[in-house]
Chains A and B, each alone.
Chain A
Amino acid sequence: MEKLIAQIKQGKVWPFPGGIHPPGQKTISTGQAITRLPLPDKLVVPLKQHIGANGKLIVDKGQQVLKGQALTKPVANWSVPIHAPTSGVITDICQMPSAHPSALPELSIIIEPDGQDRWCTLNPVPTPSLLSHEQLIDIIHDRGIAGMGGAGFPTYIKADSRKAIEYFIVNAVECEPYITADDMLMREYASGIIAGIEIMQQLLTPTLTIVGIEDNKPEAIAAMQTAAAHNDKIIIQTVPTVYPSGGEKQLIQLLTNKEVPSGGIPADIGVLVQNVGTLFAVNQAVFEGKPLIERVITVTGNTIHNPGNVWALLGTEIKHLLDCQGFSPVPQQRVVMGGPMMGFTLPTVRIGVVKTTNCILAPDHEELAEPGPEKACIRCSACADACPASLLPQQLQWFAKSKEYDKLKEHNLFDCIECGACAYVCPSEIPLVQYYRVAKVEIKEQQAEQVKAERAKERFELRKQRLEREQEARQNRHKRKPATEKSADEKQKIADALARVKSKPAKDDDKSAVATAIARAKAKKQNQGADLEPDNSDVALERAARKEQARKYKEQKAAASTTDGDKAAPADDKKAAVAAAIARAKAKKAASSTTDSETAAPADDKKAAVAAAIARAKAKKAAKAEQADSLEADQTQSETAAPADDKKAAVAAAIARAKAKKAAKAEQADSLEADQTQSETAAPADDKKAAVAAAIARAKAKKAAKAEQADSLEADQTQSETAAPADDKKAAVAAAIARAKAKKAAKAEQADSLEADQTQSETAAPADDKKAAIAAAIARAKAKKAAKAEQVSSVEKDNAVDETTPTTKNQEPGTEAQPEQTAQDKKKAAVAAAIARAKAKKLQQEGSDK
């Protein structure tokens, strides 16, 4: 390596293969010093002027900006901000044609200069040697510096190289014909460039810095040598004029005899290359604090009267550049951005100058003729001789034409630097580079598509898996439910049996329960007076005892099975026919446990003979069992009303409808009070009626509606409202029955609601109105009984020696009707049911009147 450095210091260069010698045409534009253009009347500043991501806009339309003010903020990796090139107003932020052969529109900021050219506050750093590495990198990043040689690579990334840099190479070769921007810059600002080089030396600490300048720029070489005289780590190396010695890889080979590996970057071999223009910008950014807002551009060509180099603000339209230098276009004038070898013809001259624009060439037809029609390849191999990357251009061309992309990759298409040497020497005027460019884009596209296809496949597979999982979960839910139920069922049966066994001794043991039962019975007798027959009292006593047992059992169950609520929830959610069926089954099983005690009740009512009654009773029990789980006694009462209604399940679709309504009301109750279990218990009850499909559908719709109502309105209002719509639909006789039931449910809930008085009287009134049907009356009566039974049990918590009376007393005057009803109902158990019901109605009416 010592030897190599010695050789470099001696001025040795290592020629790269190939290369061409096009006429330089450089003297056209070196005749005069760099001039400064007058301010244009409009600047079009594209957001993206470099390789990498856009910055994030931080200005708005109509905003006043100062010269050097940041317009975007770097957000992602490789994003570089842009700055206002002059002070003025942002007139628009829109899509404008970009400086690209396609001129595809790109988001640009349009600034109307105010002519004052006022700078924003700058933060110059006179002694950068005092700054840390990170601070310097941040300055270079924030000042928006990107490679000005042509590619626009963000400089801060290069300057922050993680790899050790041995040779820092300054590219001052400028090999392309016509372009003299770097040449003039070096002539005029050599010391500034050297200062920039020294900043990079501080950042990269290379062993050696080599400035490569072609031997056709003696003035620049002299200026640079003078400026760099104080720094012996900077070597100004003169290189022979060969195109494309300014190519990064070619220059590295030329100056260090090292070859960048295929697909690699110079840093891989410890080399880093920067353009002189970029280094001058770094100098400006650090020492003067100025962001990158202007650059030197060569405006040349035979159609330009005053060819030369100009300082152009970024965003200056090409048209303005041409006009200022005197432009007399020829027919079918072409304006090329960049040099004649690698530049591209602009589709329009209303495109802004960007950070990478180094030359605007406006040739006439003599100096740069339109390429003629492509002729057949004669296999002369001149292209292969000219290729600086030692590729086989001719071979690549065949493959590109036949779209054999694998072959192209095999022949290292991606090592092509698109210098155009092959096309320049081609006697058949084949636009070889264009073929390569298209092929490169297509290969990249294919690769991108491959990646995308891979991802699509992955996502598709994942989706499939997910769907399968869901399907499985659904099936499992269906399968498992019955299984668990069976077990639960068995458990319940066992528990049942145990409870029964226990209950027998409990009669003796738990004297308090029996005592309370007796007390209750006595109370009833007192209430009922002499009408009661002794038989009845016995039965009542028994029933009380059974209820005690039942309650105990319920408590046990509540403790044991906390899952009740969980099970009910999903059922409630979807009420799918299947789920509903399961729910029903569960409800029945739950009920079966309490059947013993409960069946007694109907028996007491004398409906034992009717099988249907038993079924109904079971339903109620189920509901009650669940209610037992619920926390507050009041709520349970409301609920029992609902199941009571369920008894009438035997009746036709009308009944079903009615039940649906009840369920809905139960849900309303829910929304009012925290207990979710209530709604859930109501739901399964609702599901029982699933037998009539239509009824369910209707019911659901109503429930949804009611549930919403419940949410929006307050308790009292909702109840009255729900009652109203319910009434509307009961046109049919059967509907009348349904209505009656609904009302009962509503009433039960009202009892729950905090202020019983008003609501009860209200609901009672309509209820009375509609109880025309006898069947309805029966139903109501039953519901009341159920409710009362529950009331009784609930109050028993207290020191209930005389339970029924305290309850009624505790309740507000409106409810006083109820105890009376209960008493009467019981009496009528002995008498004909119809008479009893009629009386009950009357009593209710009285109550409501109160």
Chain B
Amino acid sequence: MTLFYALIALGSLALIFGLILGFAAVRFRVQSNPIVEQIDTILPQTQCGQCGYPGCRPYAEAIANGDEINKCPPGGDATVKKLADLMGVEAKPLAGGEQAEPVKTVAYIREDECIGCTKCIQACPVDAIVGATRQMHTVLIDECTGCDLCVEPCPVDCIDMLPVKTTKQTWKWQLDAIPVTQID
């Protein structure tokens, strides 16, 4: 009989706590960002397609489905590291021997050579090139992600990828400079 009471007591306790937990699980559910979103925010959004996917989001989806995390050259090692942290995998060097800290570039159209074919406009993933048929095109530097996609289609090769200029706002002190000392 005692055994019976004990079972009933424990059983009812288990039921009560189970209900409380169940309720809490529904009521206080923490809405976490879907993993794809999180990966997508880490990716540099150049939309360059160098990973083999048409844009950053498709690559984010691919990573979520188990693709390698080291296929993003514009992101460099920093992105790989962040992705490794997020996905709980080992950080590895960039695929294809890309440089760890990529130089940021923007497209520049040599405007007097532009024939106005609009091919680069169609190629630009972020609509950062303005122009019209048989009119000169130009790049909105602030919107250009430096993805290189406009260089290939240009029939007259008038697009250069130039490194982003350092401004006073982006200039950094040289910390690893070797001090020069003169010895008499």
**A and B: bona fide binding partners:** yes
Are B143 and A456 touching (Cβ within 8 A)? Answer: yes
> Contact flags (1/0) for A101-135 with B, using CB distance below 8 Å?
11010100000000000000000000000000000
Are A434 and B45 touching (Cβ within 8 A)? Answer: no
With both beta carbons as reference points, the residue of chain B lying nearest to A449 in the complex is identified as: B44
A370 within 8 Å of B by Cβ? yes
Are B166 and A453 touching (Cβ within 8 A)? Answer: no
Are A457 and B45 touching (Cβ within 8 A)? Answer: yes
How far is A104 from B169 in the complex, measured between Cα atoms in Å?
Answer: 11
Are A441 and B170 touching (Cβ within 8 A)? Answer: yes
Are A460 and B47 touching (Cβ within 8 A)? Answer: yes
Give the dominant DSSP class at B's interface.
loop
Could you tell me which residues of chain B, from 34 to 80, have a CB within 8 Å of some CB in chain A? 40-41, 43-47, 55-57
- Of B43, B46, B57, B171, the contact of A441 (CB 8 Å cutoff): B171
Contacts of A437 in B (CB 8 A): 172-173
Known: A454-B45, A456-B45. A104 touches B127 (CB 8 A): no
Known: A331-B182, A449-B44, A463-B127. A457 touches B56 (CB 8 A): yes
A311 within 8 Å of B by Cβ? no
Contacts of A455 in B (CB 8 A): 143
With both beta carbons as reference points, the residue of chain B lying nearest to A371 in the complex is identified as: B179
With both beta carbons as reference points, the residue of chain A lying nearest to B144 in the complex is identified as: A456
Are B175 and A438 touching (Cβ within 8 A)? Answer: yes
A332 within 8 Å of B by Cβ? yes
B57 CB to closest chain A CB (Å) equals: 8
B84 within 8 Å of A by Cβ? no
Residue total for B at the interface (Cβ-Cβ under 8 A): 29
How far is A431 from B175 in the complex, measured between Cα atoms in Å?
Answer: 9
A646 CB to closest chain B CB (Å) equals: 33
How far is A438 from B46 in the complex, measured between Cα atoms in Å?
Answer: 25
Could you tell me which residues of chain A, from 451 to 498, have a CB within 8 Å of some CB in chain B? 452-457, 459-460, 462-464
How far is A591 from B72 in the complex, measured between Cα atoms in Å?
Answer: 61
How far is A102 from B127 in the complex, measured between Cα atoms in Å?
Answer: 34
> Contact flags (1/0) for B162-184 with A, using CB distance below 8 Å?
00001111111101000101100
- Of B125, B171, B175, the contact of A434 (CB 8 Å cutoff): B175
Contacts of A441 in B (CB 8 A): 169-172
- Of B56, B142, B145, B171, the contact of A104 (CB 8 Å cutoff): B171
Known: A104-B171, A438-B172, A438-B173. A459 touches B127 (CB 8 A): yes
> Contact flags (1/0) for B130-143 with A, using CB distance below 8 Å?
00000000000011
How far is A102 from B173 in the complex, measured between Cα atoms in Å?
Answer: 8
Are B166 and A104 touching (Cβ within 8 A)? Answer: yes
Contacts of B45 in A (CB 8 A): 452-454, 456-457, 460
Contacts of A445 in B (CB 8 A): 170
Contacts of B91 in A (CB 8 A): none
Could you tell me which residues of chain B, from 102 to 118, have a CB within 8 Å of some CB in chain A? none
Contacts of B56 in A (CB 8 A): 457, 460
> Contact flags (1/0) for A35-73 with B, using CB distance below 8 Å?
000000000000000000000000000000000000000
Could you tell me which residues of chain A, from 396 to 426, have a CB within 8 Å of some CB in chain B? none
A444 within 8 Å of B by Cβ? yes
A850 within 8 Å of B by Cβ? no
Are B171 and A102 touching (Cβ within 8 A)? Answer: yes
With both beta carbons as reference points, the residue of chain A lying nearest to B55 in the complex is identified as: A460
Contacts of A444 in B (CB 8 A): 169
How far is A106 from B166 in the complex, measured between Cα atoms in Å?
Answer: 12
How far is A463 from B43 in the complex, measured between Cα atoms in Å?
Answer: 19
A567 CB to closest chain B CB (Å) equals: 26
B161 within 8 Å of A by Cβ? no
Could you tell me which residues of chain A, from 190 to 232, have a CB within 8 Å of some CB in chain B? none
Are B172 and A442 touching (Cβ within 8 A)? Answer: yes
- Residue of A106, A370, A457 with most chain B CB atoms under a 10 A cut-off: A457
A505 within 8 Å of B by Cβ? no
Are A104 and B182 touching (Cβ within 8 A)? Answer: no
How far is A332 from B183 in the complex, measured between Cα atoms in Å?
Answer: 12
B100 within 8 Å of A by Cβ? no
Contacts of A453 in B (CB 8 A): 41, 43-45
> Contact flags (1/0) for A794-831 with B, using CB distance below 8 Å?
00000000000000000000000000000000000000
- Residue of A100, A331, A438 with most chain B CB atoms under a 10 A cut-off: A438
Are A463 and B126 touching (Cβ within 8 A)? Answer: yes
A23 within 8 Å of B by Cβ? no
Known: A457-B45, A463-B127. A332 touches B169 (CB 8 A): no
Contacts of A331 in B (CB 8 A): 182
B139 CB to closest chain A CB (Å) equals: 13
- Of B143, B181, B182, the contact of A459 (CB 8 Å cutoff): B143
Contacts of A460 in B (CB 8 A): 45, 47, 55-56, 125-126
> Contact flags (1/0) for B74-100 with A, using CB distance below 8 Å?
000000000000000000000000000
Are A102 and B168 touching (Cβ within 8 A)? Answer: yes
How far is A104 from B170 in the complex, measured between Cα atoms in Å?
Answer: 11
A357 CB to closest chain B CB (Å) equals: 16
With both beta carbons as reference points, the residue of chain A lying nearest to B171 in the complex is identified as: A102
Are A370 and B171 touching (Cβ within 8 A)? Answer: no
With both beta carbons as reference points, the residue of chain A lying nearest to B125 in the complex is identified as: A460
With both beta carbons as reference points, the residue of chain B lying nearest to A456 in the complex is identified as: B45
How far is A462 from B166 in the complex, measured between Cα atoms in Å?
Answer: 30
Are B172 and A101 touching (Cβ within 8 A)? Answer: no
How far is A431 from B176 in the complex, measured between Cα atoms in Å?
Answer: 11
Contacts of B41 in A (CB 8 A): 453
- Residue of A98, A441, A449 with most chain B CB atoms under a 10 A cut-off: A441
Contacts of A456 in B (CB 8 A): 45-47, 126, 143, 145
How far is A101 from B168 in the complex, measured between Cα atoms in Å?
Answer: 9
Could you tell me which residues of chain A, from 74 to 109, have a CB within 8 Å of some CB in chain B? 98, 100-102, 104, 106
9 contacts between A and B (CB under 8 A): A100-B168, A106-B168, A434-B175, A435-B175, A437-B172, A441-B172, A456-B126, A459-B126, A459-B143
Apart from the given pairs A457-B40, A457-B45, 14 other A-B contacts in the complex at a CB distance below 8 Å: A98-B168, A102-B168, A373-B179, A435-B175, A438-B172, A441-B170, A442-B172, A449-B44, A453-B41, A453-B44, A456-B126, A460-B55, A460-B56, A460-B126
Q: Which residues of B line the A interface, CB within 8 A?
A: 40-41, 43-47, 55-57, 125-128, 142-143, 145, 166-173, 175, 179, 181-182
Q: Which residues of A line the B interface, CB within 8 A?
A: 98, 100-102, 104, 106, 331-332, 370, 373, 431, 434-435, 437-438, 441-442, 444-445, 449, 452-457, 459-460, 462-464
Closest 10 CB pairs of A and B: A453-B45, A459-B126, A102-B171, A456-B45, A457-B45, A460-B47, A434-B173, A438-B172, A456-B145, A456-B126
